Structure 1
């Protein structure tokens, strides 16, 4: 089992910003070897 690395304040702030900036959509966190390597935001626009 891989050792879990510490999540940085910068990473948490980016995730929080993404969550607060979208009304409909998702935020995906990609983890490799116990470390966050990518954060994706997908936003949907309702018409």
Structure 2
């Protein structure tokens, strides 16, 4: 196995993975905010 080739593949993979991780983080943030809002509403109702 060519180590240089391996490095290039790893670099390509991380380039692809990084945006996915960012999207996931934004998604979980949105979900977290939604849950917080719902929690506030249920607390206000009682």
Task: Pick the structure with greater CA Rg.
Answer: 2
Q: TM-score, normalised by structure 2?
A: 0.33
Which structure dedicates a bigger proportion of its chain to strand? 1
Higher relative contact order (CA 8 A, sep 6+): 1
TM-score normalized by the length of structure 1: 0.33
Q: Which has the higher helix share?
A: 2
